[in-house]
Amino acid sequence: MNWQKLQDKIKKKLDGIGLTLTLNTIMYGDYQIADGTKSEFKEEYVVHAIITDFSEEDIKGGLAQVGDKKILLNAKDVPDLEQYDSLSLEVTIAGTTLVLNPVDIDSVNPSGVNLLYKIHARG
C-alpha cells in the first residue's frame, strides 16, 4: 500500500469538506534559574478538519463531557503533535470562535506514516 498517496487523498478530502482551524503549538525550552522562566517556541499551522460533537451515549458513559468535540485532523501538513508541551485549536463556527484544548490525541499511522489525528478536545 502506498501510504503517502493515501495521506494525500485524506488531505485533499479534508481540504474540500473540513473546517479551517488554526493549530497553535508551544514547546518549552530549558528552565532559566536566573529569572525563573522558560523560553517558549511557538508555531502556528492552518489546517482542515472535521469537527463533531460526542454522542449522548459517550457523555452518559463518562467518555466525554457536554461541549467536548471530536476532531479528525489532516496530518500531512503538521509535525508529530505528541511532541508538543501545549496545543490549542481555534475554529470559527457561525461567527463564534472556539478555542479547544486536546484531552487526548490518537494518530492513525500505518507503517509510520501519519494519515490523520483523532483528537478529543474541550473548550
In the chain, pLDDT over 90 holds for what percent of residues? 41
Q: How confident is the model at residue 94 (pLDDT cuts 50, 70, 90)?
A: confident
In CATH terms, the fold of domain 3-122 is Thrombin, subunit H (2.40.10)
pLDDT of residue 91: 87
Q: What is the dihedral of CA 37, 25, 22, 56, to 10 degrees?
A: -110
Average model confidence (pLDDT) for the chain? 89
Is this prediction's pTM over 0.85? no
Hunting for cell 501538513 — which residue is that? 77
